[in-house]
A = this chain, B = another copy of it.
């Protein structure tokens, strides 16, 4: 009952004493060893429950060199896509006995490095980087050096970014194909002047751009630079930006995020243009915003749950020394959710 420790917490010695056994035996029943007589197991277990003994995770960690935690880094959790990803990751990980320590790194290179180092210093069992921002723009391979460096310590899993290296694993959505299909569909519905609105030059944004351009080329529509615009991922910013260009003419918008697409919707409303009559609009990520807007937004669902599930599944395999069985790179398909801002 009473505990006389420094921290006032019951420890293995207390239990051992009360049960008249050695700490080794207590440890055995705690860890479910079968080399304990049913009799003593019962007695010890009883006392453990009664006194609410919980093994000290630090001591355990010290000995086993793991606390069964995985680090998750996102640029910001205050983003629907990231939040959903973290939700699923936490869910799948905790179902498998792993806890999450979360870090928000921001979008700057320094912040990312610092956050990764911090997480590493916590002796995590694996690291998950969520978001294509961690893959860099793809222009400079050294942008992702810090990831390979981290991978020397623990397996690293990148979600939605294609990073290669020893002990680093990637799971990406097929953004190129998705954007190709969206753009093609828009073209087939009769549009020719299609804007591409993006908020970054990340790996995934670049893939989307590729899909967009491929669709145009296939339809023999010239790719015009003034129709590719980089904007802030903020509804009113996009609207105002678009309103600014008086003599820019376009009849469709494909965006790399729903918020951007909604911005285009606001632009149309401000100009008195009908959607999808005058301009058709497609978003990306299939967030709740796609349903909140009016008209409701056609958007690409990139299967966050699937991506997260695959990632955790592979992560567990790697941790359990089955690394040879897991592919360093997995791609999952997206699908288009048709709503009312397009007429295909």
Partner of A100 from B6, B101, B236, B293 at Cβ < 8 Å: B101
A227 contacts B by Cβ under 8 Å: no
- Whether A123 and B288, one on each chain, are in contact in the complex, defined by CB atoms closer than 8 angstroms, is no
For window 51-77 of chain A, which residues contact chain B by CB distance below 8 Å? 54, 56-59, 61-62, 65, 67, 69, 72, 76-77
Given contacts A56-B62, A58-B123, A121-B54, contact A292 B7 (CB under 8 A): no
Stretch among A85-93, A188-196, A198-206, A324-332 lining the B interface: A85-93
A170 contacts B by Cβ under 8 Å: no
- Whether B121 and A103, one on each chain, are in contact in the complex, defined by CB atoms closer than 8 angstroms, is no
- Whether B104 and A57, one on each chain, are in contact in the complex, defined by CB atoms closer than 8 angstroms, is no
A241 contacts B by Cβ under 8 Å: no
For window 210-268 of chain A, which residues contact chain B by CB distance below 8 Å? 235-236, 259, 262, 265-266
CB distance from A149 to the nearest CB of B (A): 10
* Complex: A102 Cα to B90 Cα, angstroms: 8
A83 contacts B by Cβ under 8 Å: yes
- Whether A90 and B61, one on each chain, are in contact in the complex, defined by CB atoms closer than 8 angstroms, is no
Given contacts A57-B121, A235-B288, contact A102 B104 (CB under 8 A): no
Residues of B within 8 A of A77 (CB): 77, 83, 86-87, 90
Residues of B within 8 A of A291 (CB): 235-236, 262
Interface size on A, residues (CB 8 A): 50
- Whether A91 and B104, one on each chain, are in contact in the complex, defined by CB atoms closer than 8 angstroms, is yes
- Whether A90 and B103, one on each chain, are in contact in the complex, defined by CB atoms closer than 8 angstroms, is yes
- Whether B59 and A62, one on each chain, are in contact in the complex, defined by CB atoms closer than 8 angstroms, is yes
- Whether B57 and A122, one on each chain, are in contact in the complex, defined by CB atoms closer than 8 angstroms, is yes
* Complex: A291 Cα to B233 Cα, angstroms: 13
A39 contacts B by Cβ under 8 Å: no
Residues of B within 8 A of A62 (CB): 56, 58-59, 61-62
A289 contacts B by Cβ under 8 Å: yes
CB distance from A307 to the nearest CB of B (A): 14
For window 116-167 of chain A, which residues contact chain B by CB distance below 8 Å? 118, 120-123
Residue of B whose beta carbon sits closest to that of A69: B101
A80 contacts B by Cβ under 8 Å: yes
Q: A59-B62, A80-B288 are in contact. List 10 more A-B contacts (CB 8 A).
A: A57-B123, A61-B62, A72-B102, A77-B87, A87-B104, A90-B104, A100-B103, A102-B102, A289-B289, A289-B292
Chosen A-B contacts, 15 in total, with CB atoms closer than 8 Å, are A58-B65, A58-B67, A72-B102, A77-B77, A77-B87, A78-B84, A80-B288, A82-B83, A90-B104, A94-B103, A99-B101, A100-B102, A101-B102, A236-B291, A262-B292
